[in-house]
Amino acid sequence: MTLGVSIGAFKQRLPSPERALPGRATPIAITDRHHVHGRPLTHVPEGCAVAVFGMGCFWGAERLFWSVPGVETTAVGYAGDITPNPTYAEVCTGLTGHAEVVRVVFDPARCPYPHLLRRFWESHDPTQGMRQGN
């Protein structure tokens, strides 16, 4: 599928609903296990909490969190909701209204939330808007 726009051309502003890509009704299929450590992606163990961080490129953001002691699992995805069930290529156009994010499932007894926030703020430059990479 050719999208007809340069990747990232519209990333400095959110698209209007009329300009957003149409997407699809069916969610993109995902694996049920994390590729690096093999733990389930969707299960949240008892006593654990979930945090979602948007830091630009989700691959770099995920890598920052998956090895933190007390983090059970991580998963990448999108936040925002103009285009339903977007693909990676569609999100990269800036025409979906989504941001790349990482979902972090963690045990607050072993990894307090402020520890995750510290990792986030030490690795993220909020002045870069929607163009920060890893």
Q: Which residues are catalytic?
A: 57
Half-sphere exposure of 33 (CA within 13 A, CB side): 5
Cβ burial of 4 (10 Å; 0-12, 13-18, 19+) is exposed
Question: Which tokens in the block code for residue 134?
Answer: 């890893």
Report yes or no: 107 and 47 within 8 Å, Cβ to Cβ.
yes
Q: Are 93 and 5 in contact (CB under 8 A)?
A: yes
